[in-house]
Structure formats: structure tokens, C-alpha cells
Amino acid sequence: MPVIDLAVTPLRDLNSALHAIPPGPNDIAFEVVNPRGSHAVAVGIDAPVAVDVKGSVGYYCAGMNDGGSVTVHGSAGPGVAENMMSGKVVIEGDASQYAGATGRGGLLVIKGNAASRCGISMKGIDIVVHGNIGHMSAFMGQSGHLVVLGDAGDALGDSLYEAKLFVRGTVKSLGSDCIEKEMRPEHLSKLAELLEKAGVKGVRPEEFKRYGSARKLYNFNIDNADAY
Amino acid sequence: MCGIVGLFLKDRSLEPQLGALLSDMLVTMTDRGPDSAGIAIYGAPSRGKAKITIQSATPGADFARLEGALAELDLRVGLTVKSTHAVLEVEADKVDETRAALARLRPGVRIMGSGDSIEIYKETGLPKDVVARFDVRSMAGTHGIGHTRMATESAVTTLGAHPFSTGADQCLVHNGSLSNHNNLRRELVREGMTFETQNDTEVAAAYLSAKLAKGEDLGQALTSALDDLDGFFTFVVGTKSGFGVVRDPIACKPAVMAETDRYVAFGSEYRALVSLPGIEDARVWEPEPATVYFWDHEKAA
């Protein structure tokens, strides 16, 4: 297993090595030590490689991930797993603002809390947060699932399209055009699948409430002017 | 974008290292603000004495024979020159008189701040050069805050650098931009505050000074700021015995805090904190939006 020490190896060498993995089956795993809050650790992975980062990272860790499996054994700065395409990113600690922003696929698991704007403009990514999330999360979320075991901050799901939001704790306030919706059997089974994939134990899907779009703001309608 | 660092020591054995710890934190934040840097350090006060930090674009001419010129006015001062700045130690009851005398004797001299324990150093240039110029590493103290600036609201000048000090032993650093500072400045001028620059952050500093002058404590003043200041801000504020943090409700300007038994630290990014002793075991968290945090040596004691 290659071990990259960011105290001595430039970040660009790490990311170049991750980008140089040939296609096809392989079981390459990288360990990254001494990240010391560095930005852009393990961005742009496009192969099924595993990366274990031993420590906390700064901005944009695992951004644009496409098929990799990145685990941060620490906390992550703003924009972790931004625009993920596929694969899995696990943050053992907390994540700062806009975790999983604009993600198109894959699974982001945050074992601590996520700050504001978690899943902003999500477009197919699945996000599971074991703790709480901050304000304006899932703003303009288009598709995918945001699962929160703790509480959600202000303006959850503002201007939401078709992302599905599941919150187990309290929601401080719902954003414009976001409403609580009925939990149907297909939602419970999807939720069970996501909890299983995220390694959540001892939590039942029935403990969550589902939130989604009231679909009044999709297109501008003068009758809805008050809702903007 | 700007970088902010702050360190409030609980363990007195760390006090001799305050300048060195803050310097490392500040230099790490160079890429958030390479155009100027500044630092405010709260050192041990001397009984019956106060400090005035002054700055000059022509320190050779302005600081020469300054002690003698003040002595002729019966103002006994101790002068310590550090590059473009100097610290005057004066009798505690002579601060206003000394400031007035300075304005007459040395019109080119700017007052960076004054108080029982605060010293402020700020200049244009890279943080590492600013730190070296003023020998910040050798300074001791109980708490301090620093700032690396990437200017958006006003010119890149010494006076436009942070920290801003608008009251005795008070200072403020800011990451963000205020949108109602012109209106607020007019109101504060009407209340008698004076301003050195067109900078938005100076208005925030003066706003807090005005609130403190009316008897509010730092926590109350920061809570009022959430109602009255419009725009983006992460503020770190110092007073003689305290250290406060507040972010606007939108909270897009980054902030990380760490606390151990020995200190409370603030950084715009976690990178700024990684060299602090015991950081591996610190409680590290992101301050909540629109929430006031403050620590006070006097209240803790």
C-alpha cells in the first residue's frame, strides 16, 4: 500500500499518482498521513481506488470523485466531495459547509455533524449524516437523498426540486416550497438501504420524517410571488 | 478573502510563547491574505502605566528625539521603536494628553491603539515579513489576534490593515464585507466617534467601542452587532481580558475553533491550528452562525 506523507510529499504528487491508475481491475489502496488541513486532498479520482486519509483536511477533499472510496479519519473543511459522480466518501469527524454540493452520484457519509448548505444543489448524490446539519441544506436539491440522523437547521430544502430529505430529529424551519410528506413503503425501503450502506446500526427507518418539494416554484408563476 | 487567527491562553506557562504561536498561525494564512498583515498582542500591564502604539511612514524623523520633545511638555514616556511602529509607555492618567501632544508635535504619526496592555503592529506586505519586521515571535502575552488581508473594500495601506482599534485595549479583525457601513459611520460620527479610514471594518470596531462605552459587555455588544450590521462577517474581537467570536447568520466566511485545558484558538481554517500544542486532542468545532462566543480571563478567574 503506497503511503504518502504530505509533510514531505507535495499534494500535487499525491493527486497525480491517484490520476495515473490504469483502468481495469486493481486493488490499489493509498494511505495519506499528515494532511494537516491541506486543500484538495484526493480530488478528481476516476478509478476504484481506496484512499485512507489519517487526519483532518481543508477545502474540497475528494471533490469530483468518480468511483474512488475515500475515508477521512478526521474532519473535513468546506466542499468535501463536491460534485461527486460515483463512489464513496466517508468523513469520520465533522464536515464544514456545502458538503456534497452539486453531487451527481455516489454516497457521502458524515459520521459527525455537517455545517450549513449540506447537499446544496445535489443532483443524484446520496448523503447520510449521523449528526446534525446546518442551515440552507439541500437548497435547490434536484435529485438524490439526504438522510440526517440528528437535527436540521433553518430553511431546510429551500427551493427544492426532487431531492428526497429524511430527518430523524427536529427541523428548525423549512425553506420555501419544502413540505413534510407522507412516508410510503418505497421510501422506507430506500431509507433502510441507505442506512445499511452507511453503516448505521440500531436506527429504524420509521423514526424519520420525509420532506420534499411542494412543486410550486418549479416555474415562475405570478400567483406564487409571495413564496419567493 | 482574508485570514484570521486568534489565541486566548488559559495556561500561563504558554504566555512566553504567545508571539511565536500566533506568528506560525498567521504565516499559515498567507494565501488567504497576502497584501497586508497585522497583530494585536495583550501583554502584561504595568501598574500605573498605559501603552500607546504609534506608526509613522518616516519613523527615522518622527521617532527621533520624541521622548525629549514630550518631556519638555512634562510628559515622561518610555519609547520602544520597532521598525515603523513604536510603543510609548506613559503614565496611565496622561494618555489623552500624550495623544494630543503627539498630534501637535508629530502630525505624521498615526495612533494604532492604546490601553493598559494592548500593542498593535500592522503593515502592508507578506505576513512572514510583517512578523519578522516587528519581531512578533519574541512577544509574550495572555491573548492575541492576527489578520492577513486580501483587500476588497478599501485601499491596501497600513491604516487599511487589520486589527482596528477604536477604544482602549479593544481591537477587531474581520473576514467579509459590510454593506451598511456608510450609514452606520454617519450615525457613529454623530455620537462623537472619529474615523481614520473609509474601511468597513473600522466601522464595526467603532460600533462595538460605542456599545462598550455605553456599559455593555463584550457578549452584549456582539449580540447587538448581529442586529445592526448588515453584510458578511466573521469577527474576532479582543478586549483587555477577553476574546470574542461572532459570525453573521449566513456564515459563508469560514471559521474553526479549538479548545483545550491550555487555550482557546481561532483560525479561518484548520490549517492555522495544526501546530498548536495538543491540537490532536483538542475539541475542534465550527462556530455556529449568529452565535456569540466569548472568553474572559477576569470572568473565568
Structural domain that includes position B174: 3-44+124-300
pLDDT at B300 over 70: no
For the segment B288-294, the average pLDDT, to the nearest whole number, is 95
> Could you report how far apart the first and last alpha carbons of chain B are, in Å?
36
pLDDT at A195 over 60: yes
Q: Domain total for chain B?
A: 2
pLDDT band at B169 (very low <50, low <70, confident <90, very high): very high
B111: CATH = 3.30.70.240
pLDDT for the residue numbered B65: 94
Taking all residues of chain B, what is their mean pLDDT, rounded to a whole number? Answer: 95
Q: Are B268 and B29 in contact (CB under 8 A)?
A: yes
Contact B251 A135 (CB under 8 A): yes
pLDDT for the residue numbered A217: 84
Clarify whether residues B108 and B257 are in a common domain. no
Which is nearest to A35 in space by CA: A67, A18, A62, A11? A11
Give percent above pLDDT 70 in chain B.
Answer: 99
DSSP states of A59-107: TTTTTT-EEEEEEESS-B-TTTTTT--EEEEEESS-B-TTTTTT--SSE
B271 vs A58, A75, A135: nearest CB: A58
Residue B54 and residue B111: Cα distance in Å, rounded? Answer: 4
Clarify whether residues B271 and B200 are in a common domain. yes
pTM of full prediction above 0.90? yes
Q: Are A154 and A135 in contact (CB under 8 A)?
A: yes
B284 vs A contacts (CB less than 8 Å): 56, 75, 94
Least confident of A14-28, B110-124, B282-296: A14-28
Retrieve residue B150's grid coordinates: 486580501
* Strand, coil or helix: B105: helix
Clarify whether residues B142 and B255 are in a common domain. yes
- Cross-strand pairs, B36: B124, B149
A37 vs B249, B271, B285: nearest CB: B271
A96 vs B254, B271, B289: nearest CB: B254
Clarify whether residues B32 and B172 are in a common domain. yes
Which of residues B72, B100, B116 is at a domain's end? Answer: B116
B150: CATH = 3.60.20.10
pLDDT at B270 over 60: yes
Clarify whether residues B80 and B213 are in a common domain. no
**B213-265 pLDDT, tens per residue?**
999 988 899 999 999 999 999 999 999 998 999 999 999 999 999 999 999 99
For the segment B205-209, the average pLDDT, to the nearest whole number, is 96
Contact B251 A58 (CB under 8 A): no
pLDDT band at B199 (very low <50, low <70, confident <90, very high): very high
pLDDT for the residue numbered B127: 97
Collect all residues from B whose CB is shorter than 8 A from any CB in A. 249-252, 254, 256, 269-274, 284-286, 288-289
pLDDT for the residue numbered A227: 66
How many CB atoms are closer than 10 A to CB B126? 17
Clarify whether residues B154 and B246 are in a common domain. yes
DSSP states of B134-187: TTGGG---SEEEEEEE--SSS--STTTSSPB--STT-EEEEEEEESSHHHHHHH
For the segment B111-116, the average pLDDT, to the nearest whole number, is 96
pLDDT band at A226 (very low <50, low <70, confident <90, very high): confident
pLDDT band at A228 (very low <50, low <70, confident <90, very high): low
**A51-93 pLDDT, tens per residue?**
999 999 999 999 999 999 999 999 999 999 999 999 999 999 9
For the segment A147-168, the average pLDDT, to the nearest whole number, is 98
Clarify whether residues B235 and B158 are in a common domain. yes
Collect all residues from A whose CB is shorter than 8 A from any CB in B. 36-38, 56, 58-59, 75, 77-78, 94, 96-97, 115-116, 134-135
Which of residues B116, B136, B171 is at a domain's end? Answer: B116
Contact A58 B270 (CB under 8 A): yes
* Residue in chain A nearest B253 by alpha carbon: A97
Q: What element of type H or E holds B104?
A: helix B95-105
pLDDT at A98 over 80: yes
Clarify whether residues B189 and B232 are in a common domain. yes
pLDDT for the residue numbered B60: 95
Contact A115 B270 (CB under 8 A): no
pLDDT band at B301 (very low <50, low <70, confident <90, very high): very low
Active site residues of B: 2
For the segment A147-154, the average pLDDT, to the nearest whole number, is 98
Clarify whether residues B132 and B144 are in a common domain. yes
For the segment B30-34, the average pLDDT, to the nearest whole number, is 96
For the segment B39-62, the average pLDDT, to the nearest whole number, is 95
Q: Are B222 and B292 in contact (CB under 8 A)?
A: yes
pLDDT for the residue numbered B152: 82
Which is nearest to B90 in space by CA: B117, B52, B120? B52
Give chain A's length: 228
Q: What percentage of chain B's residues is helix, strand, coil (to nearest 5)?
A: 35, 30, 35
Which of residues B62, B85, B116 is at a domain's end? Answer: B116
pLDDT for the residue numbered B32: 97
Contact B269 A59 (CB under 8 A): yes
Clarify whether residues B109 and B163 are in a common domain. no
List CB contacts of B96: < 8 A, sequence separation 6 or more.
none
Residue B75 and residue B69: Cα distance in Å, rounded? Answer: 9
Clarify whether residues B133 and B234 are in a common domain. yes
CA distance B33 to chain A (A): 16
pLDDT at B298 over 90: no
pLDDT for the residue numbered A218: 79
Clarify whether residues B190 and B159 are in a common domain. yes
CA distance B225 to chain A (A): 20
